[in-house]
Structure 1
Amino acid sequence: MIKGFCKVGMIENARKVFDEMMCGPNLITCNTLINGYCKKGDMENARIFLCRMVESKDCLPDTVTYSTLIDGYCKKGEFNEAMKWMDGMLIRGCKPNLWTYNAIIYGLCLRGNVDEARRLLTKMRLNGVKENVATHLSILKGLSVAGKSEEAIGYFNEMIRKGMKLDAKEYGVVIIAYCKMRRPDEAISLLKEMQVRGISRGVGSFNAVLRILVEIGELDKAVLLLKQVKNMGCLPNLVSYSTVICGLCRSQGRMQEVGDLVDDMLQDGFEMDATLYSCLVSGFCEASNEEMAMRAFNDSINKNYVINVQSFSFFVNLMCEKGRFIEAEQIFKDMCRRCSLVDVDSYQRILDDQLHKHQGR
């Protein structure tokens, strides 16, 4: 029962069962409860429970107990606390195992101390503990987080040369590293390599590549990749579509493609949101297409979405340039009536400024 409650995060129920046990607890039961506290992020109760184990001497903590606590502290970013308990387990004669070392290496990498993590990797080998892929994944992530993308790529290639069985997590780190270096072609090559190796790819990796393609102006490649995502064993999400659609809206002469992608997005079951409506309004205004801009604006109002201030400014400016002052004022009134505007004054000021500029009032 204790294990079951801990598994579903019902740690209070698990503790109640523990306290009501007729027989004395064994080490497995105690470790299960501490693990439950740690998974919930309740490190204080986990610490208190371990301290009571030490004090009672009925059920002394072992390497698993300490490693559980150390891992919990590292995952919460409380590395100094983790090291205190690492020292404590050594004093009490408990030898660190793979889990212990992996937790500390993860904690070091989280702090950007990749060199120290590598030294610890050497130490654990000397102590007869063989590392696993998780050990190297922490270092790989650490290099990427520390901005050492080139080193991360080299480390990843070394892992492949050593015949390690890598999955989406390792590939994902390197794909992000390539994106940080603005090298989307290599990132796309890795996505294709994953497909060949039968490794499932999360949509987040595709979105990272789509984002960098849009940022560097490679819109044709972004559109092509978005259309290929399904054939590569993954499904695009709203972020995928939004990234490319908004990129096209900011580029001149591509609103027809925007319409096609919006149709694809709707067919895939995704709905327009405030960000997409803002992009559409801005894009149509940039193309001087006030009819389509007004249609997109009205659609957003009907769905209770508020376009951003910048898009509203583009819209009002275009409508005033076309002499459609009354319609500009009316759509603003509709927006105020139908939608929850957080900053009405900013929108009102934009409207007043444009009317004054074009009408002199």
Structure 2
Amino acid sequence: MSPTTSPGIARNARPYLYGGEEAALAEALHAGQYNHGELTEEFEQRVAAFLGVPETVAVASGTAAIHVALLAAGVGPGHEVVVPSFTFCATVQAILATGARPRFVEVNPGTGCVESDEVLAALTPQTRAILPVLYGGRPVDLTETRPALDEDGVTIVEDAAHAFGSRQGTRRVGATGVLTCFSFGPVKNLTCGLGGMIVPRTPLEADTCRRLRGLGIVESAAHRAESTTYTVDGFGMRVQMSPLNAAIGLVQLRHLGETKTRRRELWRAYAAALDGIDGLALVDADVERTLPPMFAVRVFDGRRDQVFRTLRQHGIGVGVHYPPNHTQPAFSEWHRPLPVTEHLGQEIMTLPFHQNLTPADATHVACELDRALNGAER
């Protein structure tokens, strides 16, 4: 690592704080409300206003968001959920948590995202939901599948863990009329430390999600405080978002414009610095519409692992997002031949990407990557 390079380049990703998070967290700690509370509800309302939707439902993590959303969509034992194998394992674990089965499908290797023809070809009589993954924050438009899905009673549940702040056409992801799940984990575009959010389609679906996240209890926390009893009318989990996490998220949300500017600037700096380097291709994030949480490339000719090791040895925090799930031991029961995804899984590599880095850092990483690939001095 050169002495002028940010030490943050050794990290593939890291949280970025704007300075007000500690004070907000301390205030929430002193307020003494650590379960679901007023700050959680304020965060829900602020996110809903940002997205342009009537309401949102905050939960403990992005994984919990997918789990709750699938249950709210009626997914359960005996059902199949169409999902790309190319995603973090949490997506698949959420499906299994409902008792349903994953039906793995291919993605476009140039984007990392599933497309309509793959979705339609994968439908079976047992299909209850489609779970597109918005890889790298890129919107996934499955509009042309909607008539067939609606006819069969199949719900689209978006795994938009990467995509908070991205747009699909004139609308933000989360406001396009499908059941959408966000993650606010440590290294996302907006962090709560840990947290997630569901964008329901109807008031009834919102109510269902709230009961599922809160142990199946019908009454609100405020109502229960004034009552001698409460009603449990079905299954539920304890996956509410704490006000402590919401306090961090409220600060982060105020700075999302700056987040967008800086992340797009870094993405474009990488794209410019990598232009013309032989042996790799960029995964297209559609950065004009996307608030990118990562920068992914494909390394060709079976050289990914060698390049990965070389860069790590030189203090460059590259990563692999993600190994295909259909080849994992835990999911072997649902294995299908997916040659495109398998090949992509052998090529994919993510470069250090977070707001502690500068365009100069991107240039440095590009030079090291070029040397690892081609032995060139840039």
Higher helix share: 1
**Structure 1 length-normalised TM:** 0.21
Higher strand share: 2
**Structure 2 length-normalised TM:** 0.20
Greater relative contact order structure (CA < 8 Å, 6+ sep) = 2
Larger Rg: 1
